[in-house]
């Protein structure tokens, strides 16, 4: 994404709007460069077939390369880019099938690795596809079990076959669980925690670093009672969790992370990237330009409202002049219709007057902000330009933005974020 787009987006966030961004880094304890995104080759499938792994590749056009070959890299879950080992090579093409040994139960086992495609350009290996994991590890299981339709664990009921009595029983049990947390007699009611609905800022780009699945939103609930007063209190903590953690895939110590802690680390990394992109940009000049643009827009709206109000006032005066004639029966319209028309015009006039007041208030606020940031700043008054104006930096603008604004910026800024218990990998868009 072009630098101009990045600048426009962050400026929009600074002035309470929300939009878009772009680049490429890894965040461990700091930032360091990784390969850019925008990859033309797709790994459509990666499955076990006997003792081999078979991958289906496709691309609209073969990327430029030195030798006409696709190189299949196998990376460990903590690796990124062409840092693993080459497990296969195949002639490059728009639709390619490549296979290589699974090496199950050996030191070189590919069962839990992620695979990517690279080409050789000017003697250097360049990643041209996203990573892909094996999607059918159950193919080598020693024992398999059919669908479990009874018991407690793993039950998958067909709700369409539930009888009316069963549905009523479920509702009764649900109500009993709700009443279980009811306040004691004599104590004020306390709020029962609702579901943690909504979208977290990283939900669209955060992936599990162990299995490659997209992380989903979760919640940790807590209820407790104050001994001194008997007051019941509650709390919910948003989480990012991997939905495959209970499917038998190893996830180390944890497969869920507190949203506030994880977002703090990633937002700091994103702020550093934004600072590197926009360090030389004149934020004060851009802010002044945006203020003037909004001021002109509000002034145009005010003139339009005033014009409509002037015409409406004339209509009201005409209607009032003809009311005596309507009462005397000398006017084509009956007095009731004339009164209704006058009432509607009066309501529209009140609405326009309120819009004009709101517009003038917004103009006054813009003018106050402009004077505070520029006219009262010694650096500006002495002819030092607008760079001396007291304004937050680009990273501060991002960190102070609303969660909705951060989510949109992160979605445009980062293509993929992988997280494990000890490592966070961020691939920014290039």
| Cα–Cα distance measured from residue 40 to residue 58, given in angstroms and rounded to the nearest whole number | 9
423 and 377 inside one domain = no
Residues with Cβ within 8 Å of 66's Cβ and at least 6 positions away in sequence, in order, are 119, 120, 121, 122, 123
Name the E strands within 164-262.
206-208, 216-225, 232-241, 256-258
270 and 347 part of one domain? no
Q: In this structure, is residue 184 part of a structural domain?
A: no
Token pair listed for 404? 């909705």
Q: What are phi and psi of 253, to 5 degrees?
A: -80, -30
Contact 208, 242 (CB under 8 A): yes
Residues 303 and 379 placed together within one structural domain of the fold: yes
| Same domain (yes/no): 267, 394 | yes
Place of tokens 């500006």: 380
Domain for residue 25, yes or no? yes
Task: Provide the CATH number for the domain around residue 104.
Answer: 2.60.40
* 276 shares its domain with 392: yes
Residue 220 located in a structural domain? yes
Same domain flag for 275 and 292 = no
Q: Are 21 and 64 members of one domain?
A: no
Residue 114 lies in a domain: yes
Same domain for 380 and 321: yes
CB 209 within 8 A of CB 198: no
Contacts of 380 (CB under 8 A, 6+ apart): 374, 386, 388, 389
- Rg of the Cα atoms in the chain: 32
Q: pTM to 2 decimals?
A: 0.45
How far, in whole angstroms, is CA 281 from its chain's centroid? 26
The residue segments making up the domain with residue 422 are 1-31+200-282+387-430
Q: Would the CA dihedral through 341, 346, 347, 348 be positive or negative? A: positive
- In this structure, the strands spanning 206-208 and 414-419 are parallel
User: Does the residue 239 lie in any domain?
Assistant: yes
CB 130 within 8 A of CB 121: no
Asked whether the beta carbons of 217 and 196 are under 8 A apart, the reply is yes
Task: Give 188's DSSP letter.
Answer: P
Q: What is the pLDDT of residue 193?
A: 40
Residue that is last in its domain, among 129, 144, 170: 129
256 within domain boundaries: yes
Task: Identify whether residues 272 and 405 lie together within a single domain.
Answer: yes
Q: Give dist(CA 389, CA 360) in Å, integer.
A: 25
Same domain membership, residue 273 and residue 406: yes
Residue 208 lies in a domain: yes
Residue 156 lies in a domain: no
Q: Do 276 and 400 fall within a single domain?
A: yes
- SS3 (DSSP) at 181: coil
d(CA 289, CA 189) in angstroms, rounded, equals: 52
Per residue of the chain (430 residues), what is the pLDDT tens digit? 555 565 566 555 544 432 223 333 334 333 333 333 347 899 999 999 999 999 999 998 888 888 999 999 999 887 888 888 999 999 999 999 999 999 988 888 999 899 999 999 888 898 999 889 998 888 888 777 665 555 555 555 555 555 677 777 877 887 777 666 555 555 544 444 444 446 788 988 999 888 888 888 888 888 888 777 778 888 888 899 888 876 666 676 678 889 989 999 999 998 888 888 777 777 777 777 878 888 899 999 999 999 999 999 999 898 888 888 888 888 888 888 888 888 889 899 989 999 999 999 989 888 887 777 665 544 444 434 444 456 677 788 888 888 888 888 888 888 899 998 888 999 887 6
One DSSP character per residue, 164-190 reads HHHHHHHHHHHHHHHHHTPPPTTSPP-
Q: How many domains would you assign to the chain?
A: 3
Distance CA 79, CA 83 (A): 7
- Residues 46 and 80 placed together within one structural domain of the fold: yes
Cβ contact 402:301 at 8 Å: no
């Amino acid at each position: 994404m072009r630098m101009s787009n990045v600048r426009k987006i962050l400026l929009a966030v600074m002035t309470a709007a929300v939009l878009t961004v772009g680049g490429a880094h890894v965040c461990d304890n700091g930032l360091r460069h990784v390969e850019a995104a925008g990859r033309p080759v797709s790994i459509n499938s990666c499955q076990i077939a006997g003792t081999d792994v078979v991958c289906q590749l496709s691309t609209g056009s073969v990327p430029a390369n030195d030798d006409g070959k696709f190189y299949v890299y196998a990376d460990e879950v903590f690796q990124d880019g062409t840092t693993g080992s080459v497990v296969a090579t195949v002639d490059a093409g728009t639709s390619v099938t490549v296979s290589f040994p699974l090496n199950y139960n050996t030191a070189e086992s590919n069962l839990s690795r992620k695979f990517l495609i690279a080409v050789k350009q000017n003697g250097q290996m360049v990643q041209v596809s996203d990573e892909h994991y094996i999607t059918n590890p159950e193919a080598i299981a020693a024992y398999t079990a059919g669908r479990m339709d009874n018991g407690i664990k793993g039950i998958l009921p067909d709700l369409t076959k539930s009888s009316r009595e069963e549905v009523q029983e479920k509702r009764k049990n649900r109500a009993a669980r709700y009443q279980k947390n009811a306040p004691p007699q004599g104590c004020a009611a306390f709020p029962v925690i609702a579901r943690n609905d909504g979208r977290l800022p990283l939900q669209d780009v955060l992936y599990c670093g162990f299995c490659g699945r997209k992380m989903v939103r979760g919640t940790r609930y807590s209820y407790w009672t104050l001994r001194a007063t008997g007051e019941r209190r509650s709390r919910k903590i948003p989480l990012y969790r991997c939905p495959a953690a209970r499917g038998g895939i190893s996830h180390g110590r944890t497969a869920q992370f507190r949203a506030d802690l994880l977002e703090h680390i990633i937002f700091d990394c994103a702020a550093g990237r934004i600072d590197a992109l926009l360090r030389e940009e004149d934020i004060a000049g851009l802010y002044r330009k945006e203020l003037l643009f909004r001021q002109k827009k509000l002034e145009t709206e005010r003139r339009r409202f005033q014009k409509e109000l002037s015409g409406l006032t004339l209509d009201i005066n005409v209607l009032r002049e003809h009311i005596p004639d309507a009462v005397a029966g000398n006017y084509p319209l009956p007095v009731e219709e004339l009164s209704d028309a006058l009432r509607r015009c009066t309501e529209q006039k009140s609405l326009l007057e309120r819009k004009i007041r709101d517009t003038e208030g917004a103009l006054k606020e813009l003018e106050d902000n402009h004077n505070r940031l520029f006219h009262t700043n010694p650096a500006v008054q002495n002819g030092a330009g607008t760079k001396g104006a007291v304004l937050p930096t680009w990273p501060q603008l991002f960190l102070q933005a609303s969660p909705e604004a951060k989510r949109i910026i992160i979605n445009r800024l980062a293509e993929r974020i992988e997280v494990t218990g000890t490592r966070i990998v961020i691939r920014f868009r290039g």
